[in-house]
Amino acid sequence: MMGQDQGHIKKLVNLCRICGETGGETESNKYREEILALHSVDVSEDLPSVAPTKICGSCRKKIDCCKISVKEGKAITATLPVISIFLPHNPGSCQIFCRLKGRPKRQC
């Protein structure tokens, strides 16, 4: 459905590309290389109608920490959140709409 799909995209806008929680604030493209290195996901290939284009402050901080470790050749000590997999809108069982209803509180 067209209307539902629009709602889906509106919800996506507020989500974090990495942890999938609400609070996306930084363009994920700015961290394209880091996300590719740490999560093996190329965000430049994401469709804006399928995956959020932003990352939250918490994930950004973790990427920033890891970025320094990678540069200095140190082991990555921060626990990285598992990157979320975003699927196109499915009217029957949409993960975005399902997730936002009574989802368990998760640490990013």
Q: How far is CA 69 from the centre of its chain?
A: 21
1 by DSSP, 3-state: which?
coil
Instruction: For residues 84 and 18, give the distance between their C-alpha atoms in angstroms, rounded to a whole number.
Output: 5
Among residues 38 and 96, whose Cβ is nearest to Zn ion?
A: 96
- Could you tell me the smallest distance in angstroms from the CB atom of residue 27 to Zn ion? 13
Among residues 73 and 85, whose Cβ is nearest to Zn ion?
A: 85
Backbone angles phi, psi at 80, to 5 degrees: -85, 135
Among residues 38 and 56, whose Cβ is nearest to Zn ion?
A: 56
Binding residues for Zn ion (CB under 5 A): 8, 16, 18-19, 56, 59, 89, 94, 96, 108
- Non-local CB neighbours of 57 within 8 Å, separated by 6+ positions: 23, 25, 26
- Could you tell me the smallest distance in angstroms from the CB atom of residue 26 to Zn ion? 10
- Could you tell me the smallest distance in angstroms from the CB atom of residue 77 to Zn ion? 18
